[in-house]
Amino acid sequence: MSTAPRAGRLSTLQAAFVMARRDFVAVLFSRSFFFFLLGPLFMLTVLALAGGVGKQVRQNTERPQLGVAMYAADTDAVVKAHSVLAAQIGPAMPQLVVVRRLAPGEQFDPLSEIKSNKANLAAILTGTPEKPTLTGPQERIGDWQGRVALIAAQAAGKGPESFPDVALSGIATSKADQSQSRMATAQIGQTVLFMLMMILAGMVLSNLVEEKGNKIIEVLAAAIPMDAVFLGKLFAMLAISLVGITVWGLFGGAIWLGSGNSLANYPAPAVGWPMFFGLGVLYFALGYLVIGSIFLAIGSMATTVREVQTLSMPVTMLQLLNFFFASFAIAQPGNWIETAAIVVPFSSPFTMLAKAAQDDALWVHGAAIAWQLVWVALLVKMGASLFKTRVMQSGSGGRDKKRWWQRKSPAPA
Amino acid sequence: MHGNADVPSVRPLAIEARGLVKRFDGFTAVDGVDLTVPEGAIYGILGPNGAGKTTTLRMLLGIIDPDEGVRRILGTDRPHEVAHTIGYLPEERGLYPSMKAYEAIAFLGALRGLPLAEGRKRGKELLEEHGLGYAIDRQIRQLSKGMAQQVQLLGTLVHEPKLVVFDEPFSGLDALNQGKLERMMRGLAAKGTTVIFSTHVIAHAERLCDEVAIIAGGKVPFAGPVDVARDRIRPQVRLETRAQDGPWRGALPQDVRREGSHWYFSLPESGIEPLLRALIEGEAGILSLSIERAGLHDAFVAIAGEAAARALEEDKDEARR
């Protein structure tokens, strides 16, 4: 047999990687994971179909509308131009409603018209086709500017080769409106995080049953520290979960974007969309590791799949409690309930993601991430110790009773 | 017997355990076990089921920690620090059923710090060497129990450990494979690897071991060279005489047992010469006389007691069935 390279001592992280690699490959290429992936995809397809029908119904009622308030002749020209372009471009063209045909010399205040919110008006086009002005919320008018220029050019009879400049008049969203919108984003973020946790964290419960059933656990326990076994299993399942989220996310995102949706139609979180998504992934990972380490410890006490199933009910209740606590906390910004929800490691990821939607401060996320990492390490250590003492029935020691600084270096072997 | 019995005492120790105690829910499974295993030795832990063999091995390997006592393995009291130099085949064999045979070997090597690619290469080589080349790409679930056992055995050795620990390695193997395993163990020891194994079959220990620890009821009444264990009881004398009676009979020891013209007794402390003189002078008519050194089984009975010996026999019968 070849003698090089030789086996070398593994650190806990290296040992965890060996374990994680085995579990990741075994789960990823199993038939059960394939079906597990398919489940939510079916659900997304059904939701997309239902959403498509709903969208058709909503299109005439809830679709954000572009109002026009110009002199009568200009209004008619804009309406005609819109209908010509809508026939060519389709639903991407905003729905047009005539707010008012102005009499010569008549004054019109588009701002108060939008704020009166009589119709589903998202922006109002005023001025003339040669010198149009678009008034509305900044993100909306920015999105529509190009299309409005196209309509104005058509209405002015200039054709698409000569676009008039569209003056933009942004409406600053009030602080109250903004925080209400961000609250909605926070709640949606929390709910999505919770749903993913519910679907994915439960997998960890049954993760040690195979090893115990196959008696492999003794081989593992003899070769690597139990902490490494726990850590490896946890990270393998996290990686599997991220694969699942990526597949579902790509599939769902494609359907969502394909249906003509855009993030611009939703209230932006305080930290911005890219950071919000980044933090979402990070908090999912941390939440998964924190809750997963508890689940792994609980599941490791079970000897059969049936026992695991029995355990899953109280575990689901525990998850729900965390979610409710975090949901309650986002409505209490700055008071002790929010602080408690951030400090409690199980509700912290949910609360912090909601905070990212409401508050643009980033340092708190750094602190929260460090705090949650400490808890992951602690819980993995506790779970492994519990497993060793309760399942393997290990004792208190077997080492020299001297502290490490009192020991002499080992005798040469 | 294998090896040289007078060498171990000067060899450095691969394993040293002092006063190991392990209790499970108030039951003391191991009660103050002391062991010293010299490097390069084949060392047997001999005892009936439930004697504490597996628990002792688990404590030595760091799978469980003792409640009391100290263990040192390859120079450290933290077994996981030297895990890459140890191979372990547990009594209850286990592999991931969906893994291919060579991958299972590579995985066991990877757990001991062998790079995965090297483990895969060696796994294929080992399977070929041991006549299991046809099973390289088969999943463990597709192998027979005996073949899976062999795959696990190869996985135990793939990283070329300095110390190999086998827990009841012969159980479940047919006679042919038991012989193969014995040869493999001797081969490992010849290369300087320390081999420690537990067994309830005295014959294996007697054939293979330099030293043994006899364990019964969680205690180790004897640990040391096999020869020393056998010397614990006096050699047995088998005498055949022409005469059935005479004054010479007074010279026979008190524990003498007669079967026809044969007399069985322990060799007297004074040696055989005075007895021979008395037999000749008393005209006993010696037809044959043999002095047989005690076997390990007799030593086991003498050291561990009749009850432990009976338990050992029952375990052996159970295993045969």
Q: Could you give the domains of chain B?
A: 8-225 (3.40.50.300), 236-292 (no CATH)
Q: Which of A139, A157, A172 is a domain's end point?
A: A172
The answer to whether residues B219 and B283 touch, using CB atoms and an 8 Å cutoff, is: no
The reply to whether A1 touches chain B by the CB within 8 Å rule is: yes
A151 and A295 share one domain:
no
- Which 8-state DSSP code applies to residue B139? B
The reply to whether B118 touches chain A by the CB within 8 Å rule is: yes
A198 and A296 share one domain:
yes
CB atoms within 10 A of CB A199: 16
Q: What is the pLDDT of residues B220-264, one digit of tens each?
A: 999 999 888 888 888 889 999 999 888 888 889 888 888 888 999
Instruction: Note whether A392 contacts B63, CB cutoff 8 Å.
Output: yes
The answer to whether residues A412 and B75 touch, using CB atoms and an 8 Å cutoff, is: yes
Residues of A in contact with B59 (CB under 8 A): 398
Q: Is the CA virtual torsion A196, A201, A206, A208 positive or negative?
A: positive
Mutate to test the interface with A, among B59, B77, B98, B168 (most CBs of A within 10 A): B77
A267 and A347 share one domain:
yes
Any domain includes A56: no
Q: Which of A127, A153, A172 is a domain's end point?
A: A172
A218 and A335 share one domain:
yes
At residue A159, the pLDDT reads: 65
The reply to whether B218 touches chain A by the CB within 8 Å rule is: no
A180 and A143 share one domain:
no
At residue A59, the pLDDT reads: 53
Q: What CA–CA distance (Å, rounded) separates A215 from B91?
A: 10
Q: What is the pLDDT of residues A32-60, one digit of tens each?
A: 888 888 888 887 777 777 766 555 555 54
At residue B189, the pLDDT reads: 95
Q: Which residues contact B131 (CB under 8 A, 6 or more apart)?
A: none
Q: What CA–CA distance (Å, rounded) separates B130 from B148?
A: 13
Q: Give contacts of B 35-94 with A, CB under 8 A.
A: 39, 58-59, 61-72, 74-86, 88, 90, 92-94
The answer to whether residues B105 and B119 touch, using CB atoms and an 8 Å cutoff, is: yes
A152 and A269 share one domain:
no
Structural domain that includes position A126: 64-172
Q: Which residues contact B143 (CB under 8 A, 6 or more apart)?
A: B101, B135, B151
DSSP bridge pairs for B15: B37, B73
Q: What CA–CA distance (Å, rounded) separates A84 from A90?
A: 10
Mutate to test the interface with A, among B21, B56, B65 (most CBs of A within 10 A): B65
Residues of A in contact with B81 (CB under 8 A): 9
Any domain includes A42: no
* A396 → closest Cβ in B67, B110, B116: B67
The answer to whether residues A241 and A200 touch, using CB atoms and an 8 Å cutoff, is: yes
* B66 → closest Cβ in A22, A224, A395: A395
Helix (H, G, I), strand (E, B) or coil at B147: helix
Any domain includes A116: yes
A326 and A350 share one domain:
yes
Which helix (H) or strand (E) segment is B149 a member of?
helix B145-157
Q: What CA–CA distance (Å, rounded) separates B38 from B283?
A: 51
C-alpha distances (whole Å) from A166 to each of A114, A137, A145, A151, B69 are 18, 15, 7, 11, 86
Which helix (H) or strand (E) segment is B30 a member of?
strand B27-38
* A5 → closest Cβ in B85, B111, B118: B118
Any domain includes A117: yes
At residue A201, the pLDDT reads: 80
- Which 8-state DSSP code applies to residue B32? E
Any domain includes A2: no
Q: Which of A19, A26, A21, A16 is nearest to A381 (CA)?
A: A16
The answer to whether residues B135 and B143 touch, using CB atoms and an 8 Å cutoff, is: yes
ipTM value > 0.95? no
CB atoms within 10 A of CB A11: 12
Any domain includes A397: no
* A26 → closest Cβ in B67, B79, B96: B96
The answer to whether residues A163 and A150 touch, using CB atoms and an 8 Å cutoff, is: yes
Q: Which of A390, A230, A221 is nearest to A296 (CA)?
A: A230
Residues of B in contact with A223 (CB under 8 A): 83, 88, 108, 111-112
Instruction: Note whether B74 contacts A222, CB cutoff 8 Å.
Output: no
* B88 → closest Cβ in A219, A225, A396: A219
A381 and A256 share one domain:
yes
Tokens (6 digits) for A224:
């690597």
Any domain includes A77: yes
The reply to whether A26 touches chain B by the CB within 8 Å rule is: yes
| Chain A nearest-CA residue for B140 | A214
Q: Which of A154, A172, A190 is a domain's end point?
A: A172
Instruction: Note whether B65 contacts A394, CB cutoff 8 Å.
Output: yes
Domain count, chain A: 2
Query: What's the per-residue H, E or C state across chain A?
Result: CCCCCCCCCCCHHHHHHHHHHHHHHHHHCCHHHHHHHHHHHHHHHHHHHHHHHHHHHHHCCCCCEEEEEEEHHHHHHHHHHHHHHHHHHCCCCCEEEEEEEECCCCCCCHHHHHHHCCCCEEEEEEECCCCEEEEEEHHHHHHHHHHHHHHHHHHCCCCCCCCCCCEEEEECCCHHHHHHHHHHHHHHHHHHHHHHHHHHHHHHHCCCHHHHHHCHHHHHHHHCCHHHHHHHHHHHHHHHHHHHHHHHHHHHHHHHHHCCCCHHHCCCCCCCHHHHHHHHHHHHHHHHHHHHHHHHHHHHHCCCHHHHHHHHHHHHHHHHHHHHHHHHHHCCCCCHHHHHHHHCCCCHHHHHHHHHHHCCCCHHHHHHHHHHHHHHHHHHHHHHHHHHHHHCCCCCCCCCCCCCCCCCCCCCC
The reply to whether A27 touches chain B by the CB within 8 Å rule is: no
C-alpha distances (whole Å) from A66 to each of A74, A79, B151, B243 are 15, 11, 73, 132
* A398 → closest Cβ in B66, B85, B159: B66
A209 and A119 share one domain:
no
Instruction: Note whether A8 contacts B122, CB cutoff 8 Å.
Output: no
A86 and A228 share one domain:
no
Which helix (H) or strand (E) segment is B291 a member of?
strand B286-292
* A223 → closest Cβ in B39, B112, B162: B112
A335 and A202 share one domain:
yes
Mean pLDDT by 10 residues, chain B (321 residues): 47 92 90 93 91 93 92 93 95 90 97 96 96 94 91 95 95 87 95 94 90 92 88 86 89 88 88 90 91 83 74 67 60
Residue-by-residue pLDDT tens, chain A, 413 positions:
445 577 778 999 999 999 999 999 999 998 888 888 888 888 777 777 776 655 555 554 456 788 899 998 899 999 998 898 888 888 778 888 888 888 888 888 888 887 776 666 778 889 988 889 888 877 677 778 888 888 888 888 876 667 788 887 777 655 555 666 778 888 888 888 988 888 888 778 777 877 877 788 899 999 999 889 989 999 999 999 999 999 999 988 888 888 777 777 677 888 888 999 999 999 999 999 988 888 888 888 887 778 877 877 887 888 888 888 988 888 877 788 989 999 999 999 999 999 898 888 889 999 999 999 999 889 888 888 888 777 776 655 544 445 444 545 444 33
A239 and A311 share one domain:
yes
At residue A66, the pLDDT reads: 87
Residues of B in contact with A411 (CB under 8 A): 12, 72, 75
Any domain includes A44: no
Angle between helices A305-330 and A175-205 (to 10 degrees): 170
Which helix (H) or strand (E) segment is B298 a member of?
helix B296-304
